[in-house]
Homo-oligomer: A and B are copies of this chain.
């Protein structure tokens, strides 16, 4: 088969891409040099947002299978693409440096011509957040956010919010972790030789009972309230209804998105990450924390940049600019429940030793 000839310009549809910059200041016959930069950088952001959405969709498609086959490359693909998202986000953070080459005076030259357009109208960015797991109720400034979008864009986001988000797929995946049922009830692990304190803390009850004892024994006096928090995060019963509201880091209540069982599975992965079958799951959890951290750094630098650009004046979209962004900063963490599990780790040398049977289940045929 003779394949058709592909040319770079056609392939990339450059006539569209490079003909999509029309300066408002030119239309108004008051050419403002820096408006081109303003357009190009936002277009570059939107291109990358499209790529992020594409990657999220592809990993969600894998995660929503009834079972992710550990013997297939599927999980590897998920981790690889999440890491790519991290790499993209790092460049997006760096890109703010370019925006900062526009001085406030240069922005003023065309700023008023853009009203009421504003970056808040980037529905693609809101989709990224929604697909990962940010719910409408968790958003800062909900009414404002709605007021900024067109109905068709709101509809798209609403639809996504009503579907399974990545964090919900993650929850289901963690809950159905193979071998884990066993681990939970299993009583045949033993304490590490030579750490009498850990041994003393173990009662050889079910895994989590004993883990709680060891954890509790290691807490400083000022940290005892962490134990209550431990129970809240890991204990079934009242919490299994999914209605639990955790005390968030910011003192506000917040609905949990990961069940106690899923949290136990995630902590287990962190604790025993060295076993072959847990290596990719551990990388997956890490990638999610990286994504949150990069998104958060992006919001933070974006906020600083807006403050530097317009100070205490209101944004082109009518927002109070920096204040809106500041509100979002604390509330838009998506995988915060994973991040918090760090509080519940114990020293490796105190870890209950798994039985040979269990070890075998976590390993290769060899």
Contacts and interface: CB of A to CB of B under 8 A. Distances in A.
Interface of A: 3, 5-9, 11-14, 16-22, 24, 30, 33, 36-37, 39-40, 42-44, 46-48, 50-51, 54, 58, 70-73, 76-77, 80, 83-84, 87-88, 90-91, 94-95, 97-98, 101, 103-105, 108-109, 112-119, 121-124, 150, 153, 178, 220, 222-223, 226, 229, 249, 270-271, 273-277, 279-280, 286, 289, 293, 296-297, 300-301, 304, 307-314, 318, 322, 339-349, 359-361, 363-366
A310 B249 CA distance: 13
Given A47-B43, A97-B87, A297-B301, A279 B277 contact: no
Contact of A313 (B18, B50, B226, B308): B226
A42 B124 CA distance: 20
A29 to B, nearest CB: 12
A95 B13 CA distance: 20
Given A87-B101, A95-B91, A116-B5, A51 B70 contact: no
A11 B24 contact: yes
A113 B361 CA distance: 35
A50 B5 CA distance: 25
A138 B270 CA distance: 40
A307 B13 CA distance: 27
A33 B58 contact: yes
Q: How many copies does the complex hold?
A: 4
A222 B313 CA distance: 9
B359 A273 contact: no
B119 A342 contact: no
Contacts of A270: 104-105
B71 A51 contact: no
Contacts of A76: 273-274, 279
Nearest to A51: B40
B18 A276 contact: no
A138 B8 CA distance: 24
A117 B6 CA distance: 5
Contacts of A42: 8, 12
A347 B313 contact: no
A39 B17 CA distance: 12
A104 to B, nearest CB: 5
22 contacts: A3-B112, A3-B113, A6-B115, A8-B121, A11-B24, A11-B39, A12-B46, A13-B21, A13-B43, A17-B43, A40-B50, A47-B47, A70-B363, A71-B359, A108-B348, A222-B314, A223-B314, A249-B312, A297-B304, A308-B342, A309-B342, A364-B364
B114 A11 contact: yes
A8 B343 contact: no
Contact of A108 (B33, B72, B301, B346): B346
A274 B87 contact: no
Nearest to A5: B116
Contact of A365 (B3, B48, B364): B364
Nearest to A83: B101
